[in-house]
């Protein structure tokens, strides 16, 4: 028997309809920003509309990183301003703050949700604090009541990193609609993919317009249609911008993906429940039950399924040993994440010592993400489960 194919971590499910939609863009020779990017923005805005409220404005971009960066700029963060974010996130969250000229300040996380701890946020507030940048980790909503109360009290902007949180609800409201801006990712491993891609949603039309302009060199907005039927229009460069716009080729994939967002989430729930049941008796740390979120009208987007491997409980087996063991069995895993202050660039720049964020540091040493994608077959799930159980009993 030939060995099964390598299970690539986070590989998306791409079907005929996505392929056809991309081919359609190519046949029309409209590759860059155009009607499909606009339709995809509309689709996300509709999906992120809260009951009884108007749809947010949505601006398609080439990444969530770009979205976080432009959100910081559009909110006029200045050099010296402090932005409190989480020590347990992807480097892009922190890089965006730094590239906007502001200073990241890290708060530690809650040990059961891995989300930013509002009590530590309070401890980190100084007169220079201008914004909070929470991340809905793995798709589990942050404690937005607590965070928005802090923001109100101290007059802070809020940017939500929704890279994991397209489907996330907090008490019936969509993640990304609590703060000034929410930044979504459609990177290849995320819940909805466009290859590379991102989007900012915001209730503020002026912020949306500024982000849209900054995403295309800072050219005045009618530059988007400068080859319209009315003839050629000169554009004005109103700000020194960036090249962050979303292509129709990307949006073509996303448009078809959005039609399946509910089905994908259901499938990931099946995978999630199989893992929770299979690993219940193992000496490893499992994700907190979903009931926490479901009972309050909230929804976990089920982006990552993370377990904690504590050698003190596993008889000396480390996280890295499990990673290697699964790799040898042809199963790709992820580490989300080593804590931000463990990385050399930040240590050098800010003098951070990871020990100052004990919860994030411990999670960073022990965490491993198992495959969780709509693409997984039942046989794939069995393979992952028996792989884990082959090492840890
Ligand atoms: C993936 C990710 C990003 C960056 O998304 P891109 O679209 O790849 O730029 C930012 N924050 C978090 C938490 C992420 O997981």
- Of 229 and 201, which is predicted with more confidence? 201
Mean pLDDT computed over every residue of the chain: 95
* Residue 23 burial (10 A CB sphere; 0-12, 13-18, 19+): exposed
What separation in angstroms does the CA of 34 have from each of 29, 60, 286, 344?
11, 11, 44, 40
CA–CA dist 168, 352 (Å, integer): 31
351 torsion bin: left (phi>0), alpha (psi -120 to 50), beta (else): left
Say whether 130 is catalytic: no
Ligand 1 centre to CA of 163 (Å) is 5
In the set 36, 48, 190, 203, the catalytic residue is: 190
Model confidence at 13, pLDDT cuts 50, 70, 90, reads: very high
Model confidence at 365, pLDDT cuts 50, 70, 90, reads: very high
CA–CA dist 293, 297 (Å, integer): 7
Ligand 1 centre to CA of 392 (Å) is 31
CATH topology classification for 16-258: 3.40.640
Model confidence at 4, pLDDT cuts 50, 70, 90, reads: confident
CATH topology classification for 261-391: 3.90.1150
CA–CA dist 97, 109 (Å, integer): 19
Ligand 1 centre to CA of 1 (Å) is 39
How confident is the model over 122-159, as pLDDT tens digits? 999 999 999 999 999 999 999 999 999 999 999 999 99
Residue 282, pLDDT > 70, answer: yes
What is the pTM (predicted TM-score) of this model? 0.97
Residue from 67, 92, 95 to probe ligand 1 pocket by mutation (most atoms less than 8 Å from CB): 92
Domain extents in the chain: 16-258, 261-391
Model confidence at 223, pLDDT cuts 50, 70, 90, reads: low
State the average pLDDT over residues 296-318.
96
* Pocket of ligand 1 from Cβ distances under 6 Å: 63-65, 89-90, 92-93, 135, 161, 163-164, 185, 187, 198
């Amino acid at each position: 028997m030939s060995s099964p194919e390598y299970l690539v971590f986070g590989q998306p499910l791409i079907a005929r309809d996505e392929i056809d939609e991309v081919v359609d863009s190519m046949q029309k020779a409209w590759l860059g920003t155009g009607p499909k990017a606009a339709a995809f923005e509309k689709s996300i805005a509709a999906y992120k509309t809260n009951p009884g409220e108007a749809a947010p404005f949505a601006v398609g971009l080439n990444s969530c990183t770009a979205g976080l960066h432009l959100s910081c700029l559009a909110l006029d963060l200045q050099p010296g301003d402090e932005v409190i974010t989480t020590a347990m996130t992807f480097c892009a969250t922190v890089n965006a703050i730094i590239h906007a000229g502001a200073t990241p300040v890290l708060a530690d996380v809650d040990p059961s949700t891995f989300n930013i701890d509002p009590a530590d946020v309070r401890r980190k507030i100084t007169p220079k604090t201008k914004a909070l940048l929470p991340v809905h980790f793995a798709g589990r909503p942050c404690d937005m009541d607590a965070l928005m109360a802090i923001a109100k009290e101290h007059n802070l902007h809020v940017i939500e990193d929704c890279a994991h949180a397209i489907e996330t609800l907090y008490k019936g409201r969509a993640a990304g609609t609590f703060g000034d801006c929410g930044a979504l990712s459609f990177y290849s491993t995320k819940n909805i993919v466009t290859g590379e891609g991102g989007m900012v949603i915001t209730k503020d039309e002026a912020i949306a317009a500024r982000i849209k302009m900054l995403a295309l060199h800072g050219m005045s907005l009618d530059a988007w249609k400068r080859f319209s039927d009315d003839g050629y229009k000169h554009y004005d460069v109103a700000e020194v911008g960036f090249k962050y716009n979303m292509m129709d080729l990307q949006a073509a994939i996303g448009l078809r993906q959005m039609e399946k967002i509910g089905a994908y989430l259901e499938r990931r729930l099946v995978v999630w429940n199989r893992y929770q049941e299979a690993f219940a008796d193992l000496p490893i740390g499992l994700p907190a039950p979903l009931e926490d979120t479901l009972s309050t009208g909230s929804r976990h987007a089920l982006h990552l399924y993370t377990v904690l491997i504590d050698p003190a409980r596993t008889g000396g087996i480390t996280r890295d040993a499990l990673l290697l063991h699964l790799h040898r069995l042809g199963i790709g895993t992820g580490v989300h994440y080593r804590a931000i202050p463990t990385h050399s660039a930040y240590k050098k720049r800010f003098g951070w010592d990871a020990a100052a964020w004990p919860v994030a540091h411990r999670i960073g040493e022990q965490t491993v993400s198992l495959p969780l994608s709509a693409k997984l077959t039942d046989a794939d799930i069995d393979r992952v489960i028996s792989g884990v159980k082959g090492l840890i009993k």
